[in-house]
Amino acid sequence: MTEPVEGETRSFERTFTVDDVRQFGTVSGDDQARHTEPNEDGEVMVQGLLTATLPTKLGSEDEVLASSMDIDFHRPVYTGDPITCRSTYETVVERDDRYEFTSDVVCENGDGDVVLTAAVEGMIWKDR
């Protein structure tokens, strides 16, 4: 566990594949044609909640226990398009046994268009 610091930004990039989308569709039940039938460029639309796993990946690195995630989806994500997700600790309050925090998340596609934003609240247990 790394101590969270106000103003610190973490980032992660991922490019979803057709197989990722199909596997998520199987698990989630969201297997609409837009997620299974490729468009004229051979791409399929990534499920919104699959895109929302990017902030989850960043939280996992810090052992975050989220208490709330307010997510806004701004535009579709398609397979083959790299998505960069950045999470910035806006507030960090140290307690005896944990850190409580808020963070802002912004995910952008390869063209720099915002595809997802989120406000996250949670905590990180201190090492014992």
Domains of the chain: 9-16+45-125 (3.10.129.10)
Give the SS3 label for residue 108: strand
Does pTM surpass 0.85? Answer: yes
Fill in the amino acid letter for 74. Answer: H
CB 4 within 8 A of CB 62: yes
**Of all residues in the chain, what percent carry a pLDDT higher than 70?**
98
Query: What is the per-residue pLDDT for 60?
Result: 85
Locate 28 and state its tokens: 């989630």
How many alpha carbons lie under 13 Å from residue 123 in its C-beta half-sphere?
12
Residue 23 pLDDT > 90: yes
Can you tell me the mean pLDDT for 33-56?
Answer: 93
Residue 1 has pLDDT above 80, yes or no: no
Tell me: pLDDT of 40 over 80.
yes
